[in-house]
Homo-oligomer: A and B are copies of this chain.
C-alpha cells in the first residue's frame, strides 16, 4: 500500500464535539452573562480530559471568536461571545425539533407598498435560477410587503436559528447582489416564502414571495391585515 504524503484535509478542525461540550459547560456556568473564573483543570475535569487538552480547547475557541479570555493574576476569566451563544442556540433548536417537532409561528401585519425594489431584484436571472432550483418555482416578480409590529418582530428573531433555504449572492452587470434566506410561509392560507436578505435594512417590514401575484389572488390592498404562518422546513 502506498503512503500518501499529502495529508488529506490538513488543518480541518476536528474535536467539534469536545469544543461544544466546553461551550455548553461555560453556558451552564453563566459565562454568557458575565465572565466566570474557571481553571483549565476544572474545565478538563468536567468534560473528562486533561488540563492540557482543555487548555487547547479554550485556546482554539478563543481563536475562533467563540470565547473571550482575560487573564487576571494567573486566573483566567472566561466569557462566551454572541457567536458562541448563537451556536448553542442552533444546537438547542436541533434537539428541540427532535422532541417537540418542527417549530411554527404565526403573526399578523398590514400590507404595505413596496418601493419597486422587489420587482427589480426578483427579475435578476441570478436569483431566478436559484428560486427555481431551491424553492421549486419562479416567483411572481414582485414581493408582498407586510408591515409588522414589535411583537411580531420579536417572534421573527427566532428565525435566526431555523434552517431556511439559502439563496446565494452573486455579481452581475458590475454590481453585487446579496444573499438571502427563505422560509416556507402561508399568507392568509396561500403558500409562498418569507424572504430575508442578509443585508437586512432592519425595517419593520417583511417580504413575501410566491409563484402567484398575492395581491390579486388574496384581493388585498395597502393597510389590509394579513396573517403569516411559518413552519420549519
| Interface positions of A (Cβ within 8 A of B) | 15-18, 20-21, 24, 27-28, 32, 88-89, 91-92, 94-99
Contact = CB atoms under 8 A, between A and B. Distances in A.
Contacts of A24: 94-95, 98
Main secondary structure, interface of A, reads helix
A126 to B, nearest CB: 28
How many copies the complex holds: the figure is: 2
27 contacts: A15-B17, A16-B17, A16-B18, A16-B21, A17-B17, A17-B18, A17-B20, A17-B21, A24-B94, A24-B95, A24-B98, A27-B98, A28-B94, A28-B97, A28-B98, A32-B98, A88-B98, A88-B99, A89-B99, A92-B92, A92-B95, A92-B96, A92-B98, A92-B99, A95-B95, A95-B96, A96-B96
Contacts of A21: 16-17
Nearest to A91: B95
A20 B94 CA distance: 12
A32 B97 CA distance: 13
Closest 4 CB pairs of A and B: A17-B17, A92-B95, A27-B98, A17-B18
Contacts of A91: 95
A17 to B, nearest CB: 1
Nearest to A26: B98
A115 B5 CA distance: 73
From A28, A32, A89, A94, name the one whose CB has the most chain B CB atoms within 10 angstroms.
Answer: A94
